[in-house]
Amino acid sequence: MSLTFTRITKYEASHRKGVRTRRVVFDEGAFDCAVYQRSSLAPLQVIEGPAVIEELVSTTIVAPGDRATLHETGAIIIDIRS
């Protein structure tokens, strides 16, 4: 089984239809983060932090340098930088 991932840069994220930005403060400082609706994410889509993933009942924060992947099952898997 081979997996194909779609990597999205901050520039691409900010220019996709329906993606907006929000200023978020982290330990490293304040960043303009892409804000995604979870329902619009594609399976195996990769989002580079900093970013915000929103849905009706929760919000997921992807910190600067971290990477979130929407698993085929719908789970968000976050790789945390070391």
In a domain, 72, yes or no: yes
> What region, left, alpha or beta, does residue 18 occupy, with left being phi > 0 and alpha being psi -120 to 50 degrees?
left
Domain assignment of residue 65, given as a range: 6-79
Counting the structural domains of the chain, the total is: 1
Q: What is the pTM of this model?
A: 0.75
> How confident is the model over 21-67, as pLDDT tens digits?
999 999 999 999 999 999 999 999 999 999 999 999 999 999 999 99
In a domain, 1, yes or no: no
Residue pair 6/44 in contact (Cβ under 8 Å)? The answer is yes
Residue position matching structure tokens 């924060």: 61
In a domain, 70, yes or no: yes
